[in-house]
Amino acid sequence: MLKYIIKRLLAGVLTMVVLITVAFFMMHAMPGGPFAPSEEKNVPVEVLERIAASYGLDQPVWKQYLNYWNNLLHGDLGISYKTVGTVNEKITGHFPYSARVGGLAVLFSLLIGIPMGLIAALYRGKAADLTTLALATIGISVPVFVLSLLLSYLFSSKLNWLPTYGLDTWQCYILPVICLSFNPIAYIARQTRSSMLEALEQDYIRTARAKGVRELMVVAKHALKNALTPVITYLGPLIAGLLTGSFVVESRFAIPGLGYYFVRSISDRDYTMIMGIVIFFGLFVVICNLVSDILLAIVDPRVKLAND
């Protein structure tokens, strides 16, 4: 087990190194740069060059790259070019909002998606199954930004039932969490349904029945454990999907989270912010993947073997 965890950990570190390197050189390949002379702002070239130099941008690229790593290893993501403050402050300041909404969305997705998929599988072909499949198709086909537009239009602008801004009251959470978890619920329900159906057809289910195991236990013990392994594998991508969703949802509902600031720093071309958030998101996803890998190895003893 320890060997397995170390292996996964190393893979995660490698992923981060690649991401940081790719992101760094992409940033440098970008046309213009943050302090390139522009027509709108009439700032003398020398001033711009001095500003660039103060950020170390006049040094050769490889040196900047090493500097970036050096700072990074000291936990320093640099200074925001376009707003006041360091990238670290921005991330620690805004991440909690994202975490609260995102955490609720994860919980909501699992609590709704898994039972939905289970019920659909157990009542295959019945009304509950068909309803689940229809809902899941809607959930997969309707993009998160469309949903957030429609819901905020309907419930906030038209009906005036729910607030559209900020996170001040609990009502504020309803729309963002629904928007964020809509897609994941659909995926989890579909996945649970199909893996449950597959598990129920396995020979070991017949063995369990031949042993005289109660039908409830056949489903809840023998089938469910096997059916949930693909859902655990989905936890990593689920988090990644929530990040994507958070860009839209946080912008739409004016939640001062990281997704919102990511979108803003993109339109501001605030490169250190973009880099910082990309690295932070990357790290976050790598950790989530690691956790889901370890969880999977605990549930399914074959996983460790396959990876050795």
User: Of residues 95, 247, 253, 261, which one binds another protein by CB under 8 A?
Assistant: 247
Is 179:102 a contact under the CB 8 Å cutoff?
Answer: no
Among 44, 60, 75, 212, binds another protein (CB under 8 A): 212
- Kindly indicate which of the ranges 46-54, 56-64, 70-78, 218-226 contains the residues binding another protein, using the contact rule CB under 8 A: 218-226
Residue 103 binding another protein, by CB under 8 A: no
Is residue 126 close enough to count as binding another protein by CB under 8 A?
Answer: no
Q: What stretches of the chain show up as alpha helix (H) in DSSP? A: 2-29, 45-54, 61-73, 87-122, 127-141, 144-151, 171-200, 203-210, 215-217, 224-252, 258-268, 271-299, 302-307
Using rule CB under 8 A, residue 291 touches another protein: no
The answer for residues whose C-beta is within 8 angstroms of residue 291's C-beta and 6 or more apart is 235
Stretch that binds another protein, among 62-70, 76-84, 101-109, 222-230 (CB under 8 A): 222-230
Cβ proximity of 188 and 231 under 8 Å: yes
Minimum separation from the CB atom of position 88 to another protein (A): 19
Please identify, using beta-carbon distances, which residue of 54 and 207 lies nearer to another protein.
Answer: 207
* Stretch of 69-77, 110-118, 143-151, 167-175 contacting another protein, by CB under 8 A: 143-151
Among 6, 26, 61, 107, binds another protein (CB under 8 A): 26
The residue to which tokens 């990876």 are assigned:
307
Compute the distance between CA of residue 290 and CA of residue 269 in angstroms, rounded to an integer.
32
Encoded tokens for 9:
């950990």
Q: Decide whether 116 or 238 has the Cβ nearer to another protein.
A: 238
List Cα–Cα distances, 283 to 26, 54, 62, 187, 222, in angstroms: 18, 28, 23, 24, 35
Could you give the CA distance from residue 104 to residue 217 in angstroms, rounded to a whole number?
30
Look-up of token digits 């060997």: 3
Q: How many residues does the chain have?
A: 308
Question: Rounded distance, CA 244 to CA 251, Å?
Answer: 12
102 makes contact with another protein (CB under 8 A): no
Binding flag, residue 204, another protein (CB under 8 A)? yes
Residues touching another protein, count (CB under 8 A): 65
Contact pick of 116, 285, 296, 297 for another protein (by CB under 8 A)? 285
- Tell me: does residue 243 bind another protein (CB under 8 A): yes
Q: Does 157 bind another protein (CB under 8 A)?
A: yes
Asked if residue 77 lies in contact with residue 23, where contact means CB atoms within 8 angstroms, the answer is no
Listed residue (144, 123, 225) closest to 186, CA to CA: 144
Q: How far is the CB of 96 from another protein (least distance, A)?
A: 20
234 binds another protein (CB under 8 A): no
Q: Cβ 222 to another protein, closest distance in Å?
A: 5
Report the distance separating Cα 260 and Cα 121, nearest Å: 38
Q: Is 165 left (phi over 0), alpha (psi -120 to 50) or beta?
A: beta
Please identify, among the stretches 67-75, 76-84, 174-182, 221-229, the one whose residues bind another protein according to the rule CB under 8 A.
221-229
Q: Report the interface residues with another protein, using CB under 8 A.
A: 11-12, 14-15, 18-19, 22-23, 26-27, 29-31, 137, 140-143, 145-146, 149-150, 153, 157, 202-204, 206-215, 222, 225-226, 229, 236, 240-241, 243-244, 247-248, 251, 263, 266-267, 269, 274, 278, 281-282, 285-286, 289, 299-302, 305
